Amino acid sequence: QVQLVESGGGVVQPGRSLRLSCAASGFTFSSYAMHWVRQAPGKGLEWVAIIWSDESHEYYADSVKGRFTISRDNWRNTLYLQMNSLRGEDTAVYYCARDMWDSRGYRFDYWGQGTLVTVSS
């Protein structure tokens, strides 16, 4: 079955960096675009970034553009999010999600359980 397992979260000081990982299994990882979505404590969902299956394209939310970098290793079936220059407003649970598109519609069909990032001095 499809599994997405995030790791790498923790407490980090403002201005520092952190790298999140999302280990994928149960599907052909290299065939799917992947996303990062975050949720600040008590708030709604915010899309963060997408990377194409072949790494040919990446797009970011304006709130993280220039500070975050999404990447993937299709041999290791792993998605990454490199977060630099972290701010308090980046505190959130970060989820990875699989992108799915077919004739019936577009969706994020599988989600990981999330990893918490807390930016605090």
Partner 1 sequence: IVLTQSPGTLSLSPGERATLSCRASQSVSSSYLAWYQQKPGQAPRLLIYGASSRATGIPDRFSGSGSGTDFTLTISRLEPEDFAVYYCQYYGTSLFTFGQGTNLEIK
Residues of the shown chain interacting with partner 1 in the complex, contacts defined by CB under 8 A: 35, 37, 44-47, 50, 59, 61, 95, 100, 104-114
**Closer by beta carbon to partner 1, 23 or else 100:** 100
**Overall size of the chain counted in residues:** 121
Distance CA 35, CA 86 (A): 19
Give the CA count within 13 Å in the CB-facing half-sphere of 35: 17
Query: Considering the complex, what minimum distance in angstroms separates the CB of residue 62 from partner 1?
Result: 10
Residue 87: both structure tokens together: 């701010």
For partner 1, the closer of residues 13 and 72 by Cβ is 72
Nearer to partner 1 among residue 7 and residue 17 (C-beta): 7
Pairing of strands 115-119, 10-12: parallel
Q: What does the block give as tokens for 104?
A: 């019936």
Radius of gyration of the CA atoms of the chain, in A: 14
Q: Among residues 18 and 112, whose Cβ is nearest to partner 1?
A: 112
**Shortest gap between Cβ of 48 and partner 1 (angstroms)?**
9
Strand partners, 61: none
Compute the least distance from the CB of residue 91 to partner 1, in Å: 17
Smallest gap, in angstroms, from Cβ of residue 13 to partner 1?
26
